[in-house]
Structure 1
Amino acid sequence: MLKNYRTVYQGGEGEIVEKKSRFIATVIPAAEEEEALAFIEAMNKKYWNATHNCFAYVIGERNEIQRCSDDGEPSGTAGKPMLDVLLGEELHNTAVVVTRYFGGTLLGTGGLVRAYSSAVKAGLASSVIITKKQGIKLEITTEYTGLGKIQYILAEKGMTVLDTLYTDKVEMTVLVPARELEGLKAAIMEGTNGRVRMEEGETCYYAEIEGKNRVLED
């Protein structure tokens, strides 16, 4: 499990025009190759009358799967430049299709490379890109007398409380960045004079979305 990696949280669409040729880039998140292939098939059906539907995708935390296609464009002028943009942005689990409607003027090798690269960048600019970070769900159980101090420490360190259960005791589930776990536990133990119980829960990924830390599915 990587400590953090960049990916697309919400896909988008961008378009550029180069010498009357339209280049439409559609971007989606894709955690599995099957998702990417189904997406490519759907784009081929949606833009069935296009001159080309070129694609690129990277799958896996370490980009174990990398595929691209020129779809009839001169070799190396579409798919590879598209893939290079995804890799250059250090994105994972991302797929993009660039649809071209030929405008009547040949762009040449360099022109095609620039156009397809620019189209992907336009598609990414309209997408929501996040950095997924490794976290731990820390289960904290305390008496009510220690709650205030714990809440102060959590707020001071900017921790996200995922859930709180109030019974004869207080049980809290806190999202903690993996690298800050030991420091937080030590601070809580010191702040409560050890009158607290903490258990490390599941490891998860989270990201800051719309100003809040949210737990994400792997």
Structure 2
Amino acid sequence: MSNSEPYLVPTADVIFEEEIKKSRFITYLAHTPNIEAAKQFVQQIKERHHDARHNCWAFVAGRPTDSMKWGFSDDGEPSGTAGKPILAQLTGSGVGEITAVVTRYYGGIRLGTGGLVKAYGGGVQQALTRLETKQKVITSELQLSCEYNQVSLVESLLSEYNGTQLHADYGNQVTMQIELDSRIVDEFCAKLTNRSGGRIVAASAS
């Protein structure tokens, strides 16, 4: 999947709760667009459940396939029994910009490593079935300059490609900043150059 391809993100938080052998497991899912937001959400749940034995978590804080933005923690549970199973469910869902925190109130009965993996992974799996998502379209910002009599040409092409004019400066020439679906930038730029006889060239605004 290229970096211009859309991906799914959550549209609302989810809470799923269950009891397993007297231990209470509460799974929280939230939309977290970056690592900082993910860590803030984890901290928020830890503060809400400061009296819980464990607040285990994992996040995919960007594109689902971008492992540089993954993170997880067992928060005191045996290594590999909580954070990794939670992360496995998130990465398997194909949803990006998502954080899961699973709070456990210990009930006095040990679950064993297999039981813990099943409890933490299963809670997230159940919560994901309740998750509502939307497609996040990746956009690019471009800048171009044109003559006043070429503005209608640019606006017509923007409309054709469902682009947005973000800003315009009217000086000796008109300088515009526009936004487009990243997947069609090359096609848009080629058509703009062709229709203007090579007089208008759009370039990345970054």
Same-fold call, TM cutoff 0.5: yes
The one-letter amino acid paired with 1:16 is: E
Q: How far apart in 2 are the matches of 1:68 and 1:191? A: 51
User: Tell me, which stretches of 5 or more residues in structure 1 are unaligned?
Assistant: 204-218
Offset of 1:77 from its aligned partner? 3.7
Q: How far apart in 1 are the matches of 2:129 and 2:135? A: 11
Larger strand proportion, structure 1 or 2?
1
**Do 1:54 and 1:98's aligned partners in 2 also have CA atoms closer than 8 Å?**
yes
Offset of 1:47 from its aligned partner? 0.4
What's the counterpart of residue 145 of structure 2? Answer: 141
Q: In the alignment, does 2:48 pair up with 1:43?
A: no
| Greater mean deviation of Cα atoms: 162-171 or 126-135 | 126-135
SS across alignment from 2:138:
strand
User: Tell me, which stretches of 5 or more residues in structure 2 are unaligned?
Assistant: none
| Inter-CA distance 172–55: structure 2 relative to 1 (3 Å threshold) | same
Q: In the alignment, does 2:191 pair up with 1:190?
A: no
Aligned match of 2:169 in 143, 146, 165?
A: 165
TM-score by length of 2: 0.69
The aligned length equals: 200
Q: What does residue range 1-218 of structure 1 map to in structure 2 within 5 Å?
A: 2-4=3-5, 6=7, 12-19=13-20, 21-27=24-30, 29=32, 31-32=34-35, 36=38, 39-58=41-60, 62-64=66-68, 66-73=70-77, 76-90=80-94, 94-102=98-106, 112-121=116-125, 122=127, 125-126=130-131, 131=136, 133=138, 135=140, 137-167=141-171, 169-194=173-198, 196-203=199-206
Q: How far apart in 2 are the matches of 1:76 and 1:132? A: 34
The one-letter amino acid paired with 2:196 is: T
| Greater mean deviation of Cα atoms: 34-43 or 142-151 | 34-43
**Do 1:7 and 1:131's aligned partners in 2 also have CA atoms closer than 8 Å?**
yes
**Do 1:138 and 1:173's aligned partners in 2 also have CA atoms closer than 8 Å?**
yes
Offset of 1:64 from its aligned partner? 2.8
